[in-house]
Each structure stands twice: as structure tokens, then as C-alpha cells.
Amino acid sequence: MLGEETRTRAGRKPKPTAAIVDSSSVKAMPVAGPRGCDGAKKIDGIKRHILVDTTGLLLAVHATPANVQDRAAFGDLLHKNRCATVRKVWADKSYTGTAPAEAAAKAGIDLDIVSGPKPTNGFVVQPRRWVVERTNGWINHHRRLARQYKTTLAAHEGFLMLSQIGLLLRRLDHGQLFDTP
């Protein structure tokens, strides 16, 4: 598998044991399918929930209308996780509550809510959380994923997976380019 090969070349175990979860809201075009309004960010569209390993590689994705809360989609995201070796997940404060805790316990995962001190002067990087934010940045570099153009959420998830396959292939090819004499 591409992910295992990429992790091995990076000096890590082939299967991840820890992951980070986050969501991001994406504006939908007027013709797009299911949508909702994310009141916190004032975005009318969809929300993509992603689970990444500690290197930023995508493990699972779940797209919902934007009005679905993170804690409500967490169980479905864990169900879509392709990697059974994950035993620890870091999340932000939006994953607090009984529903995420029960979903994590059912999956045999230790859910750790990362919340650092309130920043007094500007932005403060949260431990472990920057990895998933970087992955969201990589995803937003793809024009098809910057907005919701598709009529189904499954199509959006599919294009998101394709974008990550391209990332994996570039990482593997980059290593080959510099290994040759």
C-alpha cells in the first residue's frame, strides 16, 4: 500500500498507532447537493471531517452538510478508518462530550482533547494539531476541493482520496529522484 511504503521510507512503522482528527467547512456552489450552514464560520456548504496519521497522511474522511457538529460525525469517521492499529487520537475541543468518548471507547481508542493555554499575543501552535491543519492546507491546494462542486458527498470524499494518492505518489517519487547517482 502507498501509505505503508511512504511511512516506511520516512523511518516509521508501516501502520500508524496514533492519529489526529479535525474538520473544515467548504463553501458549496448553488447547484451542489446536500448542504447546511456552519453557524460558527458562517459558511453555507459542507464539512469534511478527516483523520490523519502523525505524518499527515489521510486515514479516513467523512463529508457531511456543514450544520453537522464535529462530535456527531466522529463515530462515523472512526467507522470509516481503514487502519485498525490506531489506538490514540488527538482532537480539539469540538470533540468533547459523551458521543465522541463512547465512539472512541467502542473502537478501543484513547481520545485525547488537546487544548493549550489561551493565546495572549497572536497564534499559538497546539501540540499535535498542526499536522491535521497542514493536511487541510494540502487539500485546499486542489481546485476541485476548494469548493463543493459535486452533487454527492461521496464524490467529494472520492476526490479528496484522489488528492491524497497524488501526494503519496509525489512523496515516493521525490525519494526516488534523489536516491539515484
Where in the sequence is the domain holding 82, given as residue range(s)?
2-116+126-167
- In this prediction, residue 125 has a pLDDT band, given cuts at 50, 70 and 90, of low
Compute the C-alpha angle 173/82/63, nearest 5°.
Answer: 95
* CB 95 within 8 Å of CB 21: yes
Q: How many domains does the chain fold into?
A: 1
Q: Confirm whether 175 is domain-assigned.
A: no
Confidence (pLDDT) at 177: 47
Confidence (pLDDT) at 162: 86
Average the pLDDT over each of 10-19, 50-59, 72-81, 133-142 and give the range with the smallest value. 133-142
What digits encode the pLDDT tens for the residues 135-175? 888 888 877 787 777 778 888 888 888 888 888 888 777 65
Confidence (pLDDT) at 123: 63
DSSP H helical ranges for the chain: 2-9, 70-80, 98-107, 129-140, 143-146, 153-179
Q: Confirm whether 145 is domain-assigned.
A: yes
- In this prediction, residue 103 has a pLDDT band, given cuts at 50, 70 and 90, of very high
Q: Confirm whether 176 is domain-assigned.
A: no
Task: Say whether pLDDT at 181 is over 50.
Answer: no
Average pLDDT for 92-113: 91
